[in-house]
Amino acid sequence: PKDVGICAIHVVVPSLYVDQADLERYDQVSKGKYTVGLGQKQMGFCTDLEDVNSLCLTAVSQLIENNGISYSDIGRLEVGTETIIDKSKSAKTVLMKLFEASGNFQVEGIDTTNACYGGTAALFNALSWIESSSWDGRLAVVVAADIAVYAKGNARPTGGAGAVAMLIGPGASLVVDRGLRGTYMNHAYDFYKPDLSSEYPVVDGKLSVDCYLNALDRCYESYLSKCHGGEVGLNRFDSFVFHAPYCKLVRKSLARLYMNDFINEIGANDENHQHQDWAVAEKTFVELSRTVFEDKTEPSLLLASRVGNTYTASVYSGLASYLLSVPPERLPGKRIGMFSYGSGLASSMYSIKVVDNGGLPGMIGNLKKGVDRLDERTRLAPEQFADVLDSRQKSLHRASYVPVGDRGQLFPGTWFLSGIDELHRRFYERN
């Protein structure tokens, strides 16, 4: 099959958010720490009415409906998430509920987990299926969804929640470049979730940032080594989208690639050299790369700055944000670099070429429907946000349980958890 890639994207943003400046006051940190220091404006969150299953149900059902396809057109459905609510039963099997009416139960694919990387692993699986001898000619759906919440403390403002569902097939508008991938995986305890009774991770923030930036170097080096012909460096890309734990790190990441280009040009590309110099060089390269950042990366931060880290969905929210920032008629021909990082750690860099196949305007129009919800959200006070997180944490594994969140605050068309019975079986309804 030709031009395999992303044919449609749908973004789900939570209906509630807290303002980061409000949060600075509430947390009694210095003014500007979250808004300037981390680069965050707002943070999306969900009450106990939503869990990762309901986010996936909302994302997949709206993707299918908005794009006028049928559940029987889908031959593979992959879920990427790190929000685990059951040690055995996958979110994918919950999503099969949506397929019942169509009678299509022949749907391959299952959940993939490793921190924020699961969505990318799911995408790679879907692409491989279509390029393989097992492909039956149907489309694939990839959904990446997470609820990112941290215990009280310095990591809490880097939370978020959301989902991105993507339709994968041949003849796509966003064609994933073949044979051009850089991957770096290693063993690290930078961020992990050993306590299965809590939604909160154990996180070594500084280590996670070091691991992220090192993985970025390694993936970039590997990606560039596979480029034959054309520019070998940032000039190769019209846009560069990064996994976005918080926007400031993305700003630094673009600067880091800029520094890599600089080192490659002067031919001093030994690893120690790069690493030791970063502490000193960071400020300089952030300055030097300013216009490149504004041009290639800043437009991808709309959702990251207003919703926060959506873990597996983050880099795909970045892609969606970038696509909406460019007039659709100027998109064809653009090449987008993608960097996906999941703590623990797993990371990949790959690229996408935008192709004019007639589908773009429809795709962008449908994408807008989800992202436009950003302006229709309800702003809650930091006290209310903290209460919601406390109540989520307390109720996480209770059975039986009826959620206490306000259904009236959900967007129309949102799936929600209506109850959990004494056997821990979860039931969902649609708003």
Among 72, 93, 104, 154, binds ligand ACO (CB under 6 A): 154
117 closest CA partner among 349, 302, 322: 349
Nearer to ligand ACO, 41 or 426 (CB): 41
Among 3, 22, 27, 33, binds ligand ACO (CB under 6 A): 33
CB 4 within 8 A of CB 127: yes
CA 250/CA 257 separation, integer angstroms: 11
193 is in an annotated binding site: no
CB 42 within 8 A of CB 20: yes
Task: DSSP letter for 187, please.
Answer: -
Nearer to ligand ACO, 15 or 158 (CB): 158
Residue nearest to ligand ACO (CB): 37
320 closest CA partner among 95, 6, 3, 4: 6
Place of tokens 């990949």: 348
CB 316 within 8 A of CB 339: no
Residues between 12 and 31 with contacts to ligand ACO, criterion CB under 6 A: 30-31
Work out how close the CB of 343 gets to ligand ACO at its nearest, in angstroms, rounded to a whole number: 5
Residues between 340 and 359 with contacts to ligand ACO, criterion CB under 6 A: 343
In 15-169, the DSSP E strands lie at 16-19, 42-45, 74-80, 111-112, 139-148, 160-169
Tokens at residue 319, please?
A: 């892609």
248 is in an annotated binding site: yes
Tokens at residue 62, please?
A: 């709206």
Residues between 187 and 246 with contacts to ligand ACO, criterion CB under 6 A: 191, 203, 205-206, 208-209, 212, 245-246
CB proximity list for 179: less than 8 A, separation 6 or greater: 226
Among 15, 40, 158, 312, binds ligand ACO (CB under 6 A): 158
Does 118 bind ligand ACO (CB under 6 A)? Our answer is no
208 is in an annotated binding site: yes
Nearer to ligand ACO, 130 or 203 (CB): 203
Work out how close the CB of 252 gets to ligand ACO at its nearest, in angstroms, rounded to a whole number: 7
Site for ligand ACO, rule CB under 6 A:
30-33, 36-38, 116, 154-155, 158, 191, 203, 205-206, 208-209, 212, 245-246, 248-249, 309, 343
Give the residue ranges of the annotated binding site: 154, 208, 248, 252
